[in-house]
Amino acid sequence: MHTRRKDNLARDLLGFFAYFNLSLLMVFGASFSAFAGVWDEGDIEAGQALFNANCASCHKVTNEVLAAPGLGGIADRWGASDELLVKWIQNPQAAAESGDGYIKSLVDRYVPTYGWMTAQAVSEDDIKNIMAYVQNPPDVAPVADAGTDCITVDELPVEEASNDSGVWFVLLLVMFLIIAMAAAGVNRSLTNASRERDGEDLLPDLPYGQRLTSWLWENRVAVSLVGVFFIAYGAVLGYQGLMRVGVVEGYKPSQPIKFIHSVHVCENEVDCKYCHHSAYESKHAGIPSTNVCMNCHKAVKKGRRYGETEIAKIYDAIGFDPLSGTYVDGQGANGYTSPQDTYNGEPIKWNKVHNLPDHVFFSHQQHVVVGGLQCQNCHGDVETYTVGRVANVDDINLLVDKYPGLIELSKPTLTMGWCIECHNKAEIDLASNGYYEEMHARLKDHLRGNEELRKYMEDDKITVKELGGWECAKCHY
């Protein structure tokens, strides 16, 4: 009897410990699975896009220092848990409050030089993808200078296009008039000599104006034809001039800081939307605030082309002391880790480049997020620019092979014809995002919608125009 009770008790204890161990395994296994794959389960291609958008402005995938230490070999160097790595990326200061010794060593080593890393709005899956890319970057041949393969179009020698046709036309016209007047004088002299020989009266000595009027009347048919030609030619020139009203291709205003797009976009591979981040969620792409500049320029205090001169203008605007690496207040005292409200710096007054009329509605979010357009489709090859400018449509069309998906257009940039031509050519993938999926569902669920959908698909494509892209109120208030 006692033996049976002991066996039952032992069996119950074994069952309890088995259940307890299984519970622990489930709890900690789930926790482990959430973080253990941070180094080897990510999507490299997605990680590259995330890295370029969120990290490339400060970090390189090699050991090279940019605005912050390089990330080459981070998997071997990281001395804390994977969970802390995620927290360190998402909120560095919160990770530092954990008291972890390795995190503290990072703070002591890097924060005095580079400042605190900005908290990154990325998920755990995003971080896995980024780390997969960092560990498997594309093979890049070493170059002596970061800017070797980057072209800055404003610094290339340009052969000015000759536009002397108008000058030559005026010169030829003057020469023709001189020859005509000389020929008329010779003809008059010969006529008078002939009349004098024949005993006839000489031609009256009339002023040149009367002579010209008389000649025009005598040759009125030829003069009328020439006059019609010049009137038509003038009308064409006038029409062409009127059609250029409001066309601002090539507009390139000066800026208060000599910002070079090619250095940032090409040489340092900063994604356009890192600085112009509101393009994802707003009508406007936005002018980046000085805080965005400081994410890199806390560490990058000297440029290769202009030295400290241009970067110092950023510091003056936000109140940053490059010697101490801290911010100053309104009294000039430094030591602050963030910009101070009491500092009264003069803001950087950037000059807007792309100006649309007040009656025009344009949303960057609609075109970038929903339409999936690349920046180059409207702004040209920005990675070759110094200051921003309004790109020429012919220059944009040259990029079709360089940027797959670019739409080749013919109308001048930023004109109404340019917009509606794009809406007429831009093809839509109804399964590309929720916005178009909703439109597709509405078309399928209604009889009239089905008829319209079949009509749209007659040429095996659906364009923005067919979904209302030419409807006036879409773009005009």
User: What is the crossing angle of helices 165-198 and 208-218, to 10°?
Assistant: 90
The Cα–Cα gap between 227 and 50 comes to: 66
- The whole-number pLDDT of residue 14 equals 43
The DSSP result for 120-186, as a single string, is ----HHHHHHHHHHHHSPPP----SSTTTT---GGGS--PPPP--HHHHHHHHHHHHHHHHHHHHHH
For residue 293, give the amino acid letter: C
Sequence spans of domains, the chain: 1-140, 172-205, 259-287+350-427+462-477
From first to last of its 477 residues, the chain has per-residue pLDDT tens of 444 444 544 455 444 444 444 443 344 343 434 444 677 778 888 888 888 888 887 888 888 777 678 888 888 888 888 888 888 898 888 888 888 888 888 888 888 777 788 888 888 888 888 888 888 887 644 433 444 578 887 766 655 555 667 788 889 888 988 898 788 788 878 888 888 888 888 877 778 778 778 878 888 898 899 999 989 999 999 998 898 888 999 999 999 999 999 999 998 888 898 999 899 999 999 888 999 999 889 888 888 888 999 999 999 999 999 888 889 999 989 888 889 999 999 999 999 999 999 999 999 999 999 988 999 999 999 999 999 999 999 999 999 998 888 999 999 999 999 999 999 999 888 887 788 888 888 888 888 888 888 888 888 888 999 888 999 999 998
Task: Classify the phi-psi angles of 388: left when phi > 0, otherwise alpha if psi is within -120 to 50, otherwise beta.
Answer: beta
The Cα–Cα gap between 199 and 193 comes to: 10
The structure tokens listed for 130 are 């980024």
Q: 213-227: string of b/e by CB count within 10 Å (b at 16+)?
A: eeeeeeeeeeeeeee
Q: Are 82 and 35 in contact (CB under 8 A)?
A: yes
The Cα–Cα gap between 57 and 60 comes to: 8
* CATH entry 1.10.760.10 includes domain 1-140: yes
The residues near 461 (Cβ < 8 Å, ≥ 6 apart) are 427, 428
Q: Are 254 and 351 in contact (CB under 8 A)?
A: yes
